[in-house]
Structure 1
């Protein structure tokens, strides 16, 4: 996205007559800033506190209503509005196209486009190409809509075909067609704008898992429950949807014009498991293992950092993922453990020592046991290719994690870059298995895209 700006007047909803001129600027990464001439009283008229916040600022630019949410002053040149010549306001989200109040449940559905969505939906299968004596031909056909419902929310994948374009260069003529995909998210009843942020992030994570690369939000359009009324030439009134564009800082800046991940490097696509099956399963898994996924995918979206940090974060994500999907079950049933603990404690006559032992007797799996259990979840053939010696991998990861957490040094002769890559790859494989993707898809992902423990695959 290129930088965008809107010049107009701005005011607080509670003081509609008190307006100031200014400009809303949306940076390439989605960050929003309102640059005011003079300033608004955001609660700091008597002090220079830059942390004061207001939930909503309204604006109008070119007859277009704009709502800014969760705003606070980031810079100004005076101690109050009265002696300020400028005021810069940080904006959490800008809604261009409507005025809404704080938490107003005004939006009936959203339209989102995401990186790698078209490839994951395998939209290329709807493109037909032909050649013969009469020349070359191509046919772009939209794919059928596919929908599913989760907790009353409906998710619909749609494709859009653009007409062929003919562009003339001095040396040649070029013909270009375009097929794109988007997802419509429809709640059971109108919701506030920020209610869509969670589902959009969950879909981003799904595409990041499938493609193996960070997949960001390209555009998010919200549809207001109140349409726009227009007079027709004959005096009648017709209504059109009120579409509102959402802008805000993002954890990953999308690059829609960059080359996409090649089809053969996807871990899985909708050919392996259809959209209407994989999305409900993914949302259930993502919400059940929210903490683990936040760490795992957060590292995918983060800028490059030290290998030691990545390895420690992957170890944390792995332990949290196992706890989320397998709990604290051990080989010893709870009743048997309770009986054994009682026998051990009864054998200790000293009360203080007995209390010390009691505090340390817990029937929970160790980190190493959790890692071995995780490795048992995916298809055995895929795991054998990725981590040939699970016991050794789990032991080395446990040592490296403990050393990093306690000393800041991994203190291992193993290549921690390969250890981190293999651990990250195994977590991807575990998530694929929990999604119900077949063994052949898991094994294909290991052979084509994931990296085994020990470094680069030998040809």
Structure 2
């Protein structure tokens, strides 16, 4: 599909999750649209969403045991949905809980009630019945460092030179970038660039000229979209960028396109659609003005794995290997303070990944295993046979699984990561077993445990990258160029080498 970037005015800007906002208007419950209460919705990146009402919804839990008698019970009423109209926009609040209510019935001076309600999600620009209400046609999501991962930009720079030396002239130009598109199971994914118009700002020290190029992913299914599916899409893109950049990647904004809302337009302007911004708390919140990560710390971009190739592979692998991917990415989003926690997490990720890759070969054939087990059970008292039988499994050991995982990625890359696979598999297995069975790791130093965690993390990541089709040459480059992985390889040579064999 031939489609290029478009200009983006300031009024088109989505609502960034790291910026505060305020909307004053009227609010009501879906089953009582005529009972509207004035109030102000506030969003703070740290504190979340808070609705301050001048008035109140009935949050007390009541019953009528007898005619004309109302009984009040403990607890408060919660609301799945609250609707509103503020700043000329429809608004939906989801997951609403009353935080405080102040009623003035019987007070000496008559004044309105006050109520504060917290919400989990706000949709600014649309009115829906709930998270599963399919009323959207597309979702657009921006994630930290997505532009770096896209490996493309609308900007081109030129520096003038005379006789091989800069002469003070130059220019910055905008060249539209063609939108990249791929279909995955009936859903269209687009990698889009959109830029602001030129803006000149007069400062006391001089004039500043600015433009902004924003890369984002647009996802449009064949049918209609719900908020719950849009949140899953945002997580899908967020996890991809987190894997590619080897660090936590925060969501900067999430915008939905309301279905069937094309507005009239003149013949020389594209048709516009009504959009709705989503305010929520993702796994990590992005900082839209922070500097991008250094390019040497990026594991892959769309240059090494083109957009049309990586997206279908990622959608398939993310679903099949999601548990292992979640476990390994948790070390980026919320690293534990103690090495023991990280050890259990990363070794667990390796085991789960091994199963997800479908290489869970049985050490013995079914017939062999049954014969051996039956022979052993004959030596066990009858009252203990059930417990003994449950403990005997025809599964690979942890060491087997680690060997298998080390054998899958590019072997030159594995060799650069660690000098001795046997030593790594042995020491990792012993560390995990000691910690799981004895509650401590007396045979491992703190530095060795750190090396085990780092190397095992790298092995899991290399396996995921291998599964995504990252070429062996790029896998080797990562081990040579990535600062953190170079340190990991150095620690492996120091702590996981033959010269440190057990005494």
Displacement of 1:370 after TM fit? 1.4
| 2:137 alignment partner in structure 1 | 108
- C-alpha distance 353-219 of structure 1, shift in aligned 2 (>3 A): closer
Answer whether contact 1:32 1:249 (CA < 8 A) is retained.
Answer: no
Q: Deviations over 1:204-225 (max 9, x none)?
A: 1110011111111111111111
Does structure 1 conserve the Cα–Cα contact (< 8 Å) formed by 2:25 and 2:38?
A: yes
Superposition deviation, residue 170 in structure 1 = 4.5
Between the aligned partners of 1:404 and 1:344, the Cα distance in structure 2 is: 28
**Is residue 2:159 matched to residue 1:117?**
no
1:361 aligns with 2:361: no
Q: Is the 8 A contact 1:29 1:249 kept in 2?
A: no
Q: CA deviation at 1:15?
A: 0.5
Q: Closer, same or farther in 2 for the Cα pair 1:349/1:21, shift >3 Å?
A: closer
- Alignment of structure 1 residues 300-311 onto 2, 5 Å: 300-302=332-334, 305-311=337-343
Q: 1:204 aligns with which of 235, 238, 252?
A: 238
Mapped contact 2:154–2:174 kept (Cα < 8 A): no
Q: CA RMSD in A?
A: 3.0
The answer (yes or no) to whether the contact 2:24–2:41 under 8 Å persists in 1 is yes
Which of 301, 312, 317 pairs up with 1:285?
A: 317
Matches within 5 A, 1:91-102: 91-102=119-130
**For residues 281-335 of structure 1, what are the alpha-carbon distances to aligned partners after superposition, in whole Å with 9 as ceiling and x for unaligned?**
1111111012222222233212663333222222222221112113531343334
Any idea what SS the aligned residue of 1:455 has?
Answer: helix
Q: Which moved more, 1:285-294 or 1:354-363?
A: 354-363
Aligned equivalent of 2:464, options 419, 424, 431: 431
SS of match in other structure, 1:436: coil
**Which one of the candidate residues 5, 25, 39 is aligned to 2:42?**
25
Correspondence list, 1:391-402, <5 A = 391-402=422-433
1:455 to 476, 491, 500: 491
Residue of structure 1 in register with 2:87 after alignment: 62
Relative to 1, partners in 2 of residues 1:334 and 1:131: Cα closer, same or farther, differing over 3 Å?
farther
- Correspondence for 1:185: 219
Q: Partners in 2 of 1:226 and 1:30 — Cα distance?
A: 34
Any conservation in 2 of the 1:385–1:452 contact (CA below 8 Å)?
Answer: no
**Kept in 2: contact 1:419–1:454 (CA 8 A):** no
In 1, Cα distance between the equivalents of 2:154 and 2:24?
44
The structure 2 residue matched to 1:148, chosen from 165, 171, 182, is 182
Residues 453 and 231 from structure 1, CA distance in 2 versus in 1: closer, same or farther, beyond 3 angstroms? closer
Report what 1:235 is aligned to. none
Is 2:294 the counterpart of 1:262? yes
Q: 2:28 maps to which residue?
A: 11
Matched, 1:420 2:450: no
Aligned 1:197-346 pairs, distance under 5 A: 197-227=231-261, 240-302=272-334, 305-342=337-374, 344-345=376-377
| C-alpha spacing 1:128/1:319, structure 2 compared with 1 (3 Å) | same
1:120 Cα deviation after fit: 0.4
**What is the deviation of 1:265?**
1.9
Query: Comparing 158-167 with 208-217, which one deviates more in the overlay?
Result: 158-167
Instruction: Give the number of aligned pairs.
Output: 450
Tell me the CA shift for residue 226 of structure 1. 3.1
- 2:501 matched residue in structure 1: none
1:73 is matched with which residue: 98, 111, 123?
A: 98
Aligned to 2:479: 446
Equivalent position of 2:73 in the other structure: 47
User: Quick check: 1:330–1:363 contact (8 Å CA) kept in 2?
Assistant: yes
Give the match's secondary structure for 2:260.
strand
| Whole-angstrom distance in 1 between the partners of 2:211 and 2:463 | 38
CA spacing shift, 1:93–1:249, aligned 2, 3 Å: same
Cα deviation, 1:192-245, whole Å, max 9, x if unaligned, reads 21211112101111100111111111111111113165799xxxxx98411111
Q: 2 CA distance for matches of 1:231 and 1:323?
A: 54
TM superposition score normalised by structure 2: 0.81
C-alpha deviation, 1:252, in angstroms = 0.7
Matched-pair contact (CA < 8 Å) for 2:81–2:96: yes
Question: How far has the Cα of 1:151 moved from its partner?
Answer: 2.0
Q: Tell me if the contact between 2:30 and 2:83 (Cα under 8 Å) persists in the aligned partners.
A: yes
The question of whether the paired residues in 2 share the 8 Å contact of 1:30 and 1:247 is answered with no
Q: Distance in 2 between matches of 1:219 and 1:349?
A: 62
| TM-superposed deviation, 1:351 | 4.6
Unaligned runs of 5+ in 1: 233-237
